């Protein structure tokens, strides 16, 4: 099963990093840093959402209708002449759905962690979200996922590629206080203020070999 680590380290991932960096006029290393933190958070939020039948059905419907993975077939074209407004709009909608009113906290946390301003981080997130959905759509089709439990397992494997201990930590950290809202403490987790865990930023840094 191809995970996010495989995507970001692949030629397509390098194209993605380069394209997003060009779109936002930012250095590639900082762009890669934001993507390596943002994409697992987007997937992690989706994983939490599919824990309910309604959430699973909503995600699978979105994948089958609009996010089958075609966006990945021409990453170079996506960034040629600038990312289309429809992609940005789609990304904004995805982020609003998965992060809800916690989105500003996510943007601010990633901004402080990466050194890029929150507005730039927001731009990167809007471009990353449709690509994450497209990648998930491709994996869903290849794995013949047809229900919530299958989707949950797929998302878990995409967040994997590391020792089980790290995978367990990601799952735990995304809902640190166990109340069902995975983003309550995202700002603290990404910034590393969660002393017990060492911070989500440090964990994802290990996950992506940074």
Query: Do the domain assignments include residue 89?
Result: yes
pLDDT averaged over every residue in the chain: 76
**What string of DSSP letters covers 15-36?**
HHHHHHHHHHT--HHHHHHHHH
pLDDT at 175: 52
- In the 8-state DSSP scheme, what is residue 82? S
Query: Do the domain assignments include residue 197?
Result: no
Confidence class of residue 20 from pLDDT cuts 50, 70 and 90? very high
pLDDT at 16: 92
Sign of CA dihedral 171, 118, 89, 85: negative
CA distance 133 to 75: 14
Query: Do the domain assignments include residue 146?
Result: yes
Query: Do the domain assignments include residue 183?
Result: no
Q: Reply yes or no on whether the pLDDT at 55 is more than 80.
A: yes
Query: Do the domain assignments include residue 190?
Result: no
Q: Reply yes or no on whether the pLDDT at 124 is more than 50.
A: yes
Confidence class of residue 23 from pLDDT cuts 50, 70 and 90? very high
What total number of domains does the chain contain?
A: 1
Six-digit token string for 21: 């960096």
Q: How many H-runs (helices) and E-runs (strands) does the chain carry?
A: 12, 0
Find the domain containing 59 and state its range.
Answer: 12-174
CA distance 34 to 115: 9
When pLDDT is averaged across residues 18-28 and rounded to a whole number, the result is 94
Query: Do the domain assignments include residue 182?
Result: no
Residues 141-162: pLDDT tens digits?
Answer: 998 988 888 998 888 888 765 4
Q: What is the pTM of this model?
A: 0.76
pLDDT at 167: 45
Six-digit token string for 196: 């017990």
Confidence class of residue 2 from pLDDT cuts 50, 70 and 90? low
When pLDDT is averaged across residues 66-92 and rounded to a whole number, the result is 86
Q: Reply yes or no on whether the pLDDT at 117 is more than 70.
A: yes
CA distance 210 to 206: 6
The full length of the chain comes to 210
Alpha carbon 34 to its chain centroid, in Å, reads 10
Query: Do the domain assignments include residue 61?
Result: yes
């Amino acid at each position: 099963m191809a995970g996010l680590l495989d995507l970001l380290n692949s030629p397509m991932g390098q194209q993605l990093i380069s394209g997003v960096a060009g779109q936002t006029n930012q250095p590639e290393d900082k762009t890669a840093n934001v993507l390596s933190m943002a994409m697992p958070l987007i997937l992690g939020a989706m994983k939490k959402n599919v824990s309910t039948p309604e959430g699973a059905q909503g995600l699978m419907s979105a994948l089958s209708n609009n996010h089958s993975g075609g966006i990945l077939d021409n990453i170079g074209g996506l960034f040629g002449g600038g990312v289309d407004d429809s992609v940005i709009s789609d990304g904004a909608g995805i982020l609003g759905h998965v992060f809800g009113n916690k989105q500003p906290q996510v943007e601010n946390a990633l901004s402080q962690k990466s050194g890029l301003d929150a507005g730039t981080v927001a731009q990167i997130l809007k471009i990353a979200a449709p690509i994450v959905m497209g990648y998930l759509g491709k994996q869903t089709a290849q794995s013949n996922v047809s229900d919530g439990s299958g989707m949950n397992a797929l998302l878990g494997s995409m967040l994997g590629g590391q020792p089980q201990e790290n995978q367990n930590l990601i799952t735990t950290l995304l809902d640190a206080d166990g109340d069902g809202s995975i983003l309550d403490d995202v700002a603290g987790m990404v910034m590393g203020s969660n002393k017990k865990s060492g911070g989500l930023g440090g964990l994802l840094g290990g996950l992506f070999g940074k």
